[in-house]
Amino acid sequence: MNRRQLLGASAALPLMTIIPRSARAAPGPVPFDAAVVRQMAREAAAKAFKAPDNKLPDSLKDLDYDRYRALRFNPEKALWRGEKLPFEVQFFHRGSFYTNRVDIYEVANGQATQVPYQPENFSFGATPPPPAGADLGFGGFRLHAPINKPDYYDEVCVFLGASYFRAVAKGQVYGLSARGLSINTGEAAGEEFPQFKSFWIEKPASNANSIVVHALLDSESAAAAYRFTIRPGDTTIFDVEMVIYPRVEIKNTGLAAITSMFFFGPNDRKEVDDFRPAVHDSDGLAIFNGRGEQLWRPLHNPRDLQISSFGDRNPRGFGLMQRQKDFSDYQDLESSFERRPSLWVEPIGDWGEGSVQLLEIPTKEEIHDNIGTFWRPKNPLPAKGELAFTYRLHWGPDQPKPSALAIFSRSGIGARGDDTKLFVLDLIGDKLKSIDPTKIKGVVTAEKAEIRNIVTQRNPQNGGWRLSFEMPVKSKAPVELRASLMQDDQAISEVWVYRWTP
């Protein structure tokens, strides 16, 4: 999965044949509410899926990465520029990596009006502009708001490529991505890439602190309608309401899907020749399951594809976190990995039985998104059904604190001799500051492996505690590990879970 392309090259959206605007009736305002998008999705799912049409002028078909980046929108032409509203919208041009046509509408006073494609609003660099009168639509869009300074509109989120979107909170830079829907992710038969084909953006009031975006998604197996309520801030919140209309029975659905990158870190530096201590957009998967248990699963760049499944009923939350937040953790002046957001999914209502799935894909370069996670319902989505899901996305420094349990802040793994691995786990949290140190005990278990020399001690460098242990390596099979801190019989930390692979 290529980070530069956001997997946009893997799929393309249906688009209209390029014809002069004068030959097409100019769309006027039409009544609009959320029910309109749901009805469009319902009607689309009742028909056979139409294969994408990727027609583009020859000058835009085969651009390399740098030439595509030279297709720039003029910020002075942003939607609502000069109207003193809390948001502005800028648009992406189509070309090579993003061939999908996306139609975008402005909604004001209950009326939707299509935002016209105007080539004069873009600069094209060395690429010849499209023919006069061509109506290409857009590749996607981005929202700007004064999130860091009251007098400057920073980019706060972007919808671009298939059903991918990204966001940042105050003081952050882009990192991991979310997806509207994933289908057959990790399956041997191949993944299906649903795609947003139309957006409706509601014009905000002058005193609004949120903006509403509606989206229509389509794919071979399903159509879906979305309503995003977006609130930028110290943590940027997306309230997501989605309704799925399957064309066929879908056995392998991914809800609230997240895509990220993990190249290497202190738990995984074998064969790494790099001046930086770590390179990743996320360092672990956090889960707050329906049983009230909190899990922390450090990420790994494996030699072979690894798929982990965490069975659950009515999960309280899960997400990919970036817990290492100091420059010293990365030493990268350009990438600013310490400023990449964490993304926490908070289901609203009961999601029933299913599992949090984690995919870890081998990669030899940091340009690839090789980590994926999502909720997979236990039962298939029935053909011709209508299924609604609501959830909240928290883009920010960390997951919302569900309890006072200590958390694992760093996981280090190294060799202790030729046939033994040493695990060093650091924990932080206010709960560790008030407990009796004589009653703290580290508990570590492993499937089909021996655990030796469990040690717990204060860590004066971070004000927390350190748990370490050794594991002799006697086979080449993966080993499932669990660790936590206990005070008598009471858990005082989340549970660290890890799959060690040779």
Per-run averaged pLDDT (10 residues), the chain, 502 residues: 38 28 55 96 95 81 91 97 97 92 96 96 93 89 97 97 97 98 93 96 97 97 98 98 98 97 94 95 97 96 95 97 97 98 98 98 95 98 97 94 87 91 95 84 94 95 94 90 94 96 86
Beta-strand pair 195-202/103-108: parallel
- Distance between CA 4 and CA 368 in Å, rounded? 8
How much is the pTM? 0.93
Q: How far is CA 187 from CA 191, 195, 251, in A?
A: 7, 19, 11
User: Dihedrals φ, ψ of 35, to 5°?
Assistant: -65, -25
**Which pLDDT belongs to residue 61?**
87
Q: Which residues pair with 466 in a beta bridge?
A: 426, 457
- Distance between CA 157 and CA 393 in Å, rounded? 13
Q: How far is CA 374 from CA 97, 437, 443, in A?
A: 25, 38, 29
- Distance between CA 32 and CA 201 in Å, rounded? 11
Report the largest interatomic distance among the alpha carbons of the chain, rounded to a whole angstrom: 81
DSSP state of 167: E
**Which pLDDT belongs to residue 402?**
67
- Distance between CA 227 and CA 144 in Å, rounded? 19
- Distance between CA 321 and CA 344 in Å, rounded? 8
**C-beta pairs of 81-86 under 8 Å, 24+ apart in sequence:** 84/206, 85/203, 85/204, 85/205, 85/206, 85/208, 86/145, 86/146, 86/204, 86/206, 86/207, 86/208, 86/209, 86/211
Per the CB < 8 A criterion, the answer to whether 266 and 412 are in contact is yes
**Which pLDDT belongs to residue 264?**
97
Per the CB < 8 A criterion, the answer to whether 142 and 168 are in contact is no
What does the block give as tokens for 218?
């389509």
Per the CB < 8 A criterion, the answer to whether 238 and 227 are in contact is no
- Distance between CA 469 and CA 421 in Å, rounded? 8
- Angle at 382 (CA atoms; ends 379, 387), nearest 5 degrees: 90
